[in-house]
């Protein structure tokens, strides 16, 4: 095993933390504007609402189930970023919603909600790209797209695999949301945009920004492959 470069480890760890908090904040905004959440959030919101469970707790449980599959097929994707993502995305979203409610900040006009929706969409893609590029593990859901690409020997690219997975999540979110009449709050224009754009945009920000930003700190492997 190669000696750990502590500076590189800390910088990449910081990138993971910042990226994942960006994703959590974006998820919170999606839920607040009620114009459709990202597909994974939509699914977990629908299920948690039906079960009467806190969103962050339900998301943690779903991630844990997917993590089992990741461990079987590509355990190299599991690391600090994996655990941090599993725990903090859902609870960060819950905190953002609680904080804005506490401060009595609302977004009622359509122009403001649309701007916030666009901001959240960009934030979630940039955050995902940043923590994935740090190469310290990725969320089980993000890893699933790369596992599909690997198992199909790249016949199905990450971008296409992500779109397929997103559509499945949207379908589950819609069906569960129908049970209590919130399907159009968690499934909307934002969901459609993210279902078809998240994969390509994450890849874009990785290639043109985050991979280059963190490249100097990835010269030495920190983990055994």
pLDDT tens digits for 64-91? 999 998 999 888 888 999 999 999 999 9
Lookup result for tokens 């760890």: 13
**Which of residues 197 and 124 earns the better pLDDT score?**
124
Q: Does residue 188 sit within a domain? A: yes
> What is the share, in percent, of the chain residues with pLDDT greater than 90?
52
pLDDT band at 34 (very low <50, low <70, confident <90, very high): confident
164 or 1: which leads in pLDDT: 164
Asked whether residue 224 is assigned to any structural domain, the reply reads: no
Within a domain: 169: yes
Gap between the Cα atoms of 179 and 168, Å rounded: 18
pLDDT band at 225 (very low <50, low <70, confident <90, very high): very low
| Band (220; pLDDT cuts 50, 70, 90) | low
Range of the domain at 55: 6-215
Name the domain count of the chain. Answer: 1
Contacts of residue 213, defined as CB under 8 A and 6 or more positions apart, other chains included, come to 15, 130, 133
1 has a pLDDT exceeding 60: no
Mean pLDDT of the chain: 88
Which residues have C-beta within 8 Å of that of residue 168, sequence separation ≥ 6? none
CA distance 147 to 160: 12
**Per-residue pLDDT, 4:** 58
Which residues contact residue 148 at a Cβ distance below 8 angstroms, ignoring those fewer than 6 apart?
156, 158, 161, 164, 165
Judged against a pLDDT cut of 60, whether residue 223 lies above it is answered with: no
Q: Is residue 54 part of a domain?
A: yes
Has residue 53 been placed in a domain? yes
Among residues 210, 14, 34, the alpha carbon closest in space to that of 120 is found at 34
Which one is predicted more confidently, 109 or 22?
A: 22
Cβ distance 205 to 136 under 8 Å? no
Whether 85 contacts 131, CB under 8 Å: yes
The string of pLDDT tens digits covering residues 105-145 is: 888 888 999 999 999 999 999 999 999 899 898 889 888 98
Which DSSP category does 182 fall into? Answer: -
Whether residue 32 is contained in a domain is answered as yes
220 found inside a domain: no
Classify residue 1: in a domain, yes or no: no
**pLDDT tens sequence across 143-168:** 898 889 988 988 998 888 988 998 89
Q: What does the angle CA 24 – CA 27 – CA 29 come to, to the nearest 5 degrees?
A: 115
> pTM of the entire structure?
0.82
pLDDT over threshold 90, residue 12: yes
Q: What stretch of H or E contains 55?
A: helix 55-74
């Amino acid at each position: 095993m190669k000696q750990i470069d502590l500076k590189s480890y800390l910088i990449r760890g910081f990138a993971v933390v910042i990226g994942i908090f960006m994703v959590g904040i974006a998820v919170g905004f999606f839920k607040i504007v009620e114009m459709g959440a990202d597909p994974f959030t939509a699914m977990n919101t629908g299920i948690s609402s039906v079960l009467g469970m806190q969103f962050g707790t339900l998301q943690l449980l779903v991630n844990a189930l997917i993590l089992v599959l990741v461990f079987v097929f590509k355990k190299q994707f599991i690391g600090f970023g994996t655990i941090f993502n599993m725990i903090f995305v859902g609870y960060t979203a819950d905190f953002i919603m609680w904080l804005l409610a506490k401060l009595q900040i609302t977004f009622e006009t359509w122009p403001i909600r649309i701007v916030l929706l666009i901001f959240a969409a960009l934030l979630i893609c940039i955050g995902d790209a940043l923590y994935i590029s740090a190469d310290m593990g990725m969320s089980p859901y993000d890893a699933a797209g790369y596992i599909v690409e690997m198992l199909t020997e790249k016949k199905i690219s990450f971008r296409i695999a992500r779109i397929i997975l997103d559509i499945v999540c949207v379908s589950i979110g819609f069906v569960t949301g129908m049970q209590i009449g919130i399907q159009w709050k968690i499934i909307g224009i934002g969901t459609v945009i993210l279902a078809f754009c998240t994969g390509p945009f994450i890849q874009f920000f990785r290639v043109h920004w985050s991979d280059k930003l963190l490249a100097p700190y990835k010269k030495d492997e920190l983990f055994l492959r």
